[in-house]
Amino acid sequence: MAATSDYIELTVEGEQIAGTLLSPQKQMPGLLFVHGWGGSQSRDMMRARGVAGLGCVCLTFDLRGHEKTMAHRQRVTRGQNLEDILVAYDRLAQHPATDPERIAVIGTSYGGYLATILTTLRPVRWLAMRVPALYWDEQWNLPKQQLDRAELMRYRQSTLGPLDNRALGACATFEGDVLIVESEHDEHVPHETIMNYRSSCRRAHSMTHRIIDGADHGLSSERCQQAYTSILTNWISEMIIGDRIGHLS
């Protein structure tokens, strides 16, 4: 747990001696988890429980069109799901234990794509993306389910930059720390998309790129799930511990 330090003086038999009072910080980093299309908060919840022990306030949630709101699946748009994320972010930032200046967003696939756009609308200190998907800017208000999947795959295999795509443009202006996790055998997000994201993060304070060997898009094996959990937990630990050292120096 992070601590703040204050110099104090103690009086003993009329003499002054120096001391340092260490006390827990009143506010902690906040972590917002955003699942992918067709997913849910269940996997995120398991990882959130693990990193909460590092001294973080974590929030997981289900995007509209998923779980209890599955009935909306056929008509929910990217714009509506971005609004979901904004509401979730604001709830996390307003929590009395959250430091609103130290918020991390962890997005998977579709959630990673929307998380990049979130960074242009709200303050984000750390951005983690696992297999971030990519969508063209057009048809923003068309139900997500109606986007042409074959055309999307061709689009994702293209070389694109910040001027070509809203999400990549957001990456180009992001100045925090970035984690990108790629699956070696991803059937939905090709290597070209990952490299488009990576090359767009031109102003990032730090960039970490990891590839999970043998993994598919959904991390269908327990080994791959554990590998991602380890990568994410280690990165979050590094970011938070480094931040706390900075607060104490």
Identify the CATH number of the domain in which residue 158 sits.
3.40.50.1820
User: How many domains does the structure of the chain reveal?
Assistant: 1
Query: Which of 234, 243, 228, 240 minimizes the C-alpha distance to 56?
Result: 240
pLDDT at position 25, please? Answer: 65
Please tell me the number of Cα atoms within 13 Å of 41 on its side-chain side.
17
177 inside domain: yes
- β-sheet bridge partners, residue 211: 182
Whole domain around residue 135: which residue ranges? 27-248
Is the separation of the CB atoms in 128 and 232 below 8 Å?
A: yes
pLDDT at position 209, please? Answer: 98
Give the list of residues 6+ apart from residue 211 with CB closer than 8 angstroms, or none: 181, 182, 183, 184
pLDDT at position 158, please? Answer: 97
- β-sheet bridge partners, residue 209: 180
242 inside domain: yes
Is pTM, for the whole model, over 0.85? yes
174 inside domain: yes
Q: Write out residues in the chain with pLDDT < 50, as ranges.
A: 1, 248-249
pLDDT at position 20, please? Answer: 78
1 inside domain: no
13 inside domain: no
pLDDT at position 31, please? Answer: 96
12 inside domain: no
pLDDT at position 76, please? Answer: 95
Q: Three-class SS of residue 230?
A: helix
pLDDT at position 100, please? Answer: 95
210 inside domain: yes
